[in-house]
Amino acid sequence: MDKESRPTLSRRSMLAGAAAAGVLAPAVAASGVAAFSAAAGAESASAAAGALRQITLYAEQLKDSNLIGYALEPGKPTIPGPLLEIYEGDTIEIELVNTTNQRLSIHPHGVNYETTSDGSPLNDSFNNPGETKVYTWRTQTAYQRDGVYMPGSAGYWHYHDHALGTDHGTGGLARGLYGGLIVRKKGDLLPDRQYTVVFNEQSINNLVAPNTPMLEANKGERVEFVCVGHGTLPHTFHLHAHRWADNRTGHLTGPDDTTQVIDNRNLDPGSSFGFQVIAGEAVGAGAWMYHCHVQSHSDAGMSGIFLVRNPDGSLPDGAQAAIDRFHGMPMGGMDMKAMNMSPVPTGVHDGIAPLAPGNPSAKKSKNSPPAAGHGHK
């Protein structure tokens, strides 16, 4: 892979252990794309104690672009925004700093909040230009009421603007103000790598092929996908050669679990799901495609590569040729400028750097906080 097409190394940020007030202390594994995991500290302690997590996000326009993203640090907005992650029972307070000259907000799916943290103009909940506002999201475990169990918050969710352009945030979504949100149960398996994939109109993370994110892993690593739909078009997410169970986690509970196993799932606007796979399990290393299976959408550029390297990080036979073919595929079918989408300025790219041969990457312990997703900056 030549230097120009080589994506940057994804950055992993996390909270320090369950300290008082849970103040954010970013720990950067490498330079590149910003991300965030609030599920740090001891897993059991976080799930049981219901920790308070406090972070600051910045809404900023991307350099040399009309796109806008959320950021953990000033000057580093990404699309998608940082992947937020907490355990059931936790509360997260988000101080949102609006650095733009337009009103905007942050609105979550799947968690509890009061009208003041709704992020919608209906409830007068948004940031005016230049304004800073705190949004509070709470989570809960399943509980019994009237003889039945009410659901908890665990799941693969997302957050997005709900105020820019219209009272529904249509302009904010078109310009990139969205990100992934995970609420875990105690005992959930933690991945080695995480990727947020957002189908927004006929783009992936506001990019179209061949500039779409190249998602990488070494064979045998546990990879988590957080899939989100936005815009006005119906989509389906398909991953070549890998499968998952159609439930909350993507895992089967045992050999007799009859949950349907799938490799393609609807991803309509406002919906989200997630799953984990073992990279290359039973199929081997290689350049595997992921794409929208609405044919006109994939033809228009809604496709990308899931590159599974050899266990030592080296490129498998045939992978480079497949990558080159992907970059030569004809794409077209929409006015990207009108949709505030790719092509993007030089240096704005999504992905992670290829792993050096003999270096299986910063593979994380199953007891460590999960790696976080990524977006172009």
pLDDT at 119 > cutoff 90: yes
CA dihedral in degrees (80, 192, 182, 301; nearest 10)?
A: 30
Check residue 330 and give its pLDDT. Answer: 76
* pLDDT score recorded for residue 340: 57
* Identity of the highest mean pLDDT range in 18-27, 142-151, 233-242: 233-242
Residues 56 and 24: beta-carbon distance below 8 Å: yes
Binning pLDDT at 50, 70 and 90, where does residue 252 land? very high
**Position with higher pLDDT, 352 vs 223:** 223
Are 159 and 109 in contact, with CB atoms under 8 Å apart?
Answer: yes
41 beta partners: none
The alpha-helical segments, DSSP class H, found in the chain are 43-49, 170-174, 295-299, 319-328
Specify the pLDDT at position 332. Answer: 57
Rounded CA-CA distance 176/275 in Å is 23
Of the listed ranges 98-107, 148-157, 235-244, 328-337, the least confidently predicted one is: 328-337
Q: Is the pLDDT of residue 227 over 50?
A: yes
List % helix, strand, coil for the chain (3-state, nearest 5). Answer: 10, 35, 55
Rounded to the nearest integer, the mean pLDDT of the chain is 82
For the chain, what percent of residues have pLDDT higher than 90?
Answer: 73
Give residue-wise pLDDT tens across range 167-176.
Answer: 999 999 999 9
pTM above 0.75, yes or no: yes
Q: Give the residue-averaged pLDDT of 183-207.
A: 97
Average pLDDT, integer, range 325-337: 70
- pLDDT of residue 319 exceeding 50: yes
Buried b / exposed e across 172-187, counting CB within 10 Å, b at 16+?
bbbbbbbbbbbbbbee
Please give the DSSP secondary-structure letter assigned to residue 129: T
Nearest in space to 69 (alpha carbons), one of 95, 40, 33 = 33
> Are the C-beta atoms of residues 275 and 249 closer than 8 Å to each other?
yes
Q: Which of 32-36, 146-150, 364-368 has the highest mean pLDDT?
A: 146-150
100-117 pLDDT, tens digit per residue, is: 999 999 999 999 999 999
**Residue from 275, 261, 271, 49 nearest 40 by CA:** 49
CATH superfamily assigned to domain 20-184? Cupredoxins -  blue copper proteins (2.60.40.420)
| DSSP letter assigned to residue 354 | P
Average pLDDT over residues 329-345: 54
Q: Does the pLDDT at position 132 exceed 80?
A: yes
- The tally of CA atoms less than 13 A away on the side-chain side of residue 305 is 27
Question: Which residues are paired to 291 by β-bridges?
Answer: 238, 303
pLDDT of residue 329: 80
Given the structure tokens 């609405």, which residue do they identify? 294
* Tens digits of residue pLDDT in 23-76: 222 222 222 233 344 443 334 444 445 899 999 999 999 999 999 999 999 999
